[in-house]
């Protein structure tokens, strides 16, 4: 497994524009309220005099999460100047950004901002590595995440997937009408009837995906009108055979593979007739990158050792 920094697939230039400003502010305020619900006595030792600090990377990976750090420090009256772009590979010791603002504000937002950047960068790093594995094998399909995200950090982690070059998958339950195995069990109706009812509920604006546990189920779901069939927890050989069978009879139906697929196992699931592989490990198991903040000596107005870390 690779340990060196991995360059991410360059994200679309306007990727940060997908993040609703009101949601960014809401998340930043929630994180700050969690970490500092009342007065911070240590702030009195710092005061509101202007200070500068460097944001340092301490572990290798891919940088992601600048909009979230901007939002958090912005709530504390600070501004961030980024020296490294999103998606860039990082080495330990890299000065990623400089933060300026009132001393108490710089430190008030420190932990929440570092948590967001570390978590987002960790997901971007895992995503970039998985995409590199797929492309290295010549597989042209989509590497995607899942909804297995950290409560309160879904937008952060979905954004990190995008920066790393992976598809975020659906952001919420309404982003795609997905009929899972438990829907089929709870409905207590034939698969074809459930799919038909789901198709009517989806309307013309949503795709319909059906989770299938066998090749027979996948063929039945495709025949009933599914746009995507999810082959869940298949062995690599069974996956390849089921995907080929679906494409042979329903070439326009997309095939997604999922179910405990790790980076190490990924090459075995890159079958020719599989359009997408979704990996929960890109979010639920991605280790956060380590970042630190170092306040700089000087008067905070740009003099002193601004060039050193």
Give the residue numbers marked as catalytic: 148
CA distance 178 to 163: 25
Which of left, alpha, beta for 73 (phi over 0: left; psi -120 to 50: alpha)? alpha
Using CA atoms, how far residue 271 sits from 70, 139, 187, 256, in Å, is: 41, 8, 32, 11
Query: Where do the DSSP E strands lie in the chain?
Result: 50-57, 61-62, 79-82, 89-90, 95-102, 142-144, 177-179, 208-212, 228-232, 254-258, 276-278, 291-295
Q: Is 280:148 a contact under the CB 8 Å cutoff? A: yes
Q: Other C-beta atoms within 10 Å of 283: how many?
A: 28
| DSSP secondary structure letter of residue 300 | S
Measured CA angle at 146 (ends 141, 150), to 5 deg: 145
Q: How many residues does the chain have?
A: 309
Number of helical H runs and strand E runs in the chain: 10, 12
* Closest listed residue to residue 165, CA positions, set 229, 89, 59: 89
């Amino acid at each position: 497994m690779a340990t060196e920094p991995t360059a991410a697939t360059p994200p679309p230039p306007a990727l940060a524009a997908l993040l609703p400003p009101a949601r960014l502010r809401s998340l930043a305020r929630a994180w700050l309220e969690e970490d500092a619900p009342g007065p911070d006595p240590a702030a009195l030792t710092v005061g509101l005099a202007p200070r500068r600090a460097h944001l340092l990377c301490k572990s290798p990976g891919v940088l992601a999460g600048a909009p979230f750090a901007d939002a958090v420090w912005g709530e504390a009256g600070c501004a961030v100047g980024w020296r490294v772009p999103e998606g860039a590979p990082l080495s330990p010791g890299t000065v990623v950004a400089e933060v300026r603002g009132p001393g108490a504000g710089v430190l008030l937002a420190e932990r929440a901002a570092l948590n967001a950047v570390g978590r987002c960068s960790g997901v971007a790093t895992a995503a970039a590595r998985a995409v590199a594995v797929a492309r290295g094998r010549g597989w042209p399909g989509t590497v995607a995440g899942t909804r297995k995200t950290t409560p309160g950090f879904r937008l952060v982690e979905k954004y990190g997937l995008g920066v790393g070059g992976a598809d975020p998958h659906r952001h919420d339950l309404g982003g795609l009408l997905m009929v899972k195995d438990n829907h089929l069990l709870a409905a207590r109706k034939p698969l074809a009837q459930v799919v038909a009812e789901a198709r009517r509920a989806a309307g013309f604006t949503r795709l319909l995906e059906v989770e299938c546990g066998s090749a027979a189920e996948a063929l039945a779901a495709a025949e009933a009108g599914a746009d995507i069939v999810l082959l869940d927890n298949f062995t690599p050989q069974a996956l390849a055979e089921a995907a080929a069978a679906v494409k042979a009879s329903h070439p326009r139906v997309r095939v997604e593979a999922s179910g405990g697929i790790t980076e190490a196992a990924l090459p075995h699931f890159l079958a020719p007739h599989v359009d997408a592989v979704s990996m929960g490990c890109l979010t639920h198991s991605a280790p956060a990158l380590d970042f630190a903040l170092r306040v700089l000596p000087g008067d905070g107005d740009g003099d002193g050792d601004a060039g050193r870390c």
